[in-house]
Copies of this chain bind each other. A is one copy, B any other.
Amino acid sequence: MKTFIISGLLILISAVGAWADDKIPTVLSNKEAIALVQTHADYVWTLVAAALVFFMQAGFAMVEAGFTRAKNAINIMMKNLMDFSMGSIAFWAVGFGLMFGVSKAGWFGTSGFFLSDFTPGGDPWVLAFWMFQVVFAATAATIVSGAMAERTKFSGYLIYSFFISALIYPVFGSWAWGGLYKGGGWLEHLGFIDFAGSTVVHSVGGWAALAGAIVLGPRLGKYGKDGKVRPILGHNMPLAALGVFILWLGWFGFNPGSTTAANKDIAMIFVNTNLAAAAGCVLAMFTSWMKFGKPEVGMSLNGALAGLVAITSPCATVTPMSAIIIGAAAGVIVVLAVLFFDRIRIDDPVGAISVHGVCGAWGTLAAGIFNIGGTSLKIIGVQLLGIGACFLWVFPSAFLLFKLIDVTIGLRVSPEEELEGLDFAEHGGNAYPDFEISHAGGVGTPEGHGFLKTKPASEKMLGKPVEQT
């Protein structure tokens, strides 16, 4: 009888809820307390991961600047700054709601705009979740700037940048990830596997980059007659390498952070992420060695990124051994893809389309093939469907967007401005005023080994291009 009363008491007390030190602890109050500590760990991990993913913005900026010419370095910094800054505002106002809001039909969300799901005093999880998602949205946006570097009009770029974060990325995202919060998309309902976003983030960025590069056309002097390729040298390889190391670091937030929970799963995700990147880097180096006779730095750097992009989707659902295979394949694929896009005269200064678009698709497919729980035609079919759906949504809509910008305010700078360099033409500045800049055989602005002519198509050049095999 006594016991009854006591236990009843305890239960009642605990029923009252959140334990406080002055209260007598009970089994139930302890259980709640344990859950709360775990929740705190989840917040910390999710937000630390978000910080690491944010830092990838610096990585993208350095890679892109390093792989392009000194005369456009300021413009690249400005684009990357704005991708994240305007993107954050756009995703706060519109994107998040479209991606994670309540979605009846499974095509896009319709609630939670302006972070309206958060009320002071209420559960702040939506804020932690938003923080983690906004850095993903900005990643998709900034991928594109690399492929459009050195010739895009800044004002036009800003318009694009707003729309990819507010519309193009969130809509596809809602199909695959809406269910992570209040939404629910048709693709995830079919069982589409894209743990951290090989398709949702990277392919989206990659296919938008493809559309942008096509609408813009190549940089002056990039291609000669007969499809001859004239390399336009990146001006700072250590900066590019630093960018890749930063991106690699950021991916340790990107992939394991996608658990948005502090649990044991992150261990395998870390290992897979690292091994795929390593394998991609090594294979890309050897591939470049075989194809060009020397281990080439640009390809090796792209190879590490290719491995990272490829493992993004399967990182939580394949074995480390599979991760190595997936990354290694990506390392080979990216080299061939870069050469391929050059051959079809799509000018992508940093290889964004190959790294993010192509390897993103490969990784998504690989998630089906190497699935730790076994694979099946159905699984692979759904993965292919997701890959296709991504291309079919992103490429046309981005293409349309760029065309609209082009015919209205204009997407590309004038040839004079391009020769002069965007830093002066668009920003009235000079990235390296203390350094003597070399014009050897080039134009009236920093030029590397300069291959530009007044008549771009002209065959006259200092650096004779060599037919690729």
Contacts and interface: CB of A to CB of B under 8 A. Distances in A.
A234 B432 CA distance: 8
A44 B43 contact: no
Nearest to A57: B245
Contact of A434 (B12, B74, B324, B438): B438
A318 B19 CA distance: 27
A61 B242 contact: yes
Contact of A246 (B58, B125, B267): B58
Nearest to A331: B85
A296 B447 contact: no
Interface in A380-439: 423, 426-438
A62 interface: yes
B281 A81 contact: yes
Copies in the complex: 3
A25 B25 contact: no
Contacts of A11: 9, 12-13, 16
Interface in A33-61: 33-35, 37-41, 43-45, 47-48, 50-52, 54-55, 57-58, 61
Contact of A301 (B81, B88, B236, B447): B81
A241 B77 contact: yes
B436 A448 contact: no
Contacts of A92: 275, 320, 324
A236 to B, nearest CB: 6
Contacts of A14: 16, 28
A208 interface: no
B436 A436 contact: yes
A456 interface: no
Contacts of A44: 41, 44-45, 48, 262, 266
Contacts of A429: 237, 294, 296-298
Interface stretch (A178-186, A248-256, A355-363): A248-256
A158 to B, nearest CB: 9
Nearest to A88: B278
A331 to B, nearest CB: 10
A353 interface: no
A136 interface: no
| Chain A facing B: main interface SS | helix
Contact of A55 (B2, B249, B434): B249
A295 B241 contact: no
A279 B89 contact: yes
A255 to B, nearest CB: 11
A350 interface: no
A393 B80 CA distance: 40
Contacts of A444: none
A209 B437 CA distance: 34
B300 A47 contact: no
B39 A38 contact: no
A107 interface: no
Given A7-B9, A65-B238, A82-B282, A25 B15 contact: no
Contacts of A432: 235-237, 435
A271 B127 contact: yes
A114 interface: yes
A13 B436 CA distance: 77
A110 interface: no
A40 B237 contact: no
6 contacts: A11-B13, A120-B319, A127-B268, A235-B435, A236-B431, A237-B429
Given A234-B433, A236-B431, A435-B437, 16 more contacts: A43-B266, A44-B44, A48-B48, A50-B252, A58-B242, A62-B238, A71-B434, A76-B238, A78-B297, A81-B281, A82-B282, A82-B285, A294-B426, A296-B429, A433-B449, A434-B448
Interface of A: 2-5, 7-9, 11-17, 19-20, 25-28, 30-35, 37-41, 43-45, 47-48, 50-52, 54-55, 57-58, 61-62, 65, 69-71, 73-74, 76-78, 80-82, 84-89, 92, 114-115, 118, 120, 123-125, 127-128, 130-131, 134, 154, 233-239, 241-242, 244-246, 248-249, 252-253, 256, 262-268, 270-271, 274-275, 277-279, 281-282, 285, 292-298, 300-301, 304, 319-321, 324, 372, 423, 426-438, 446-449
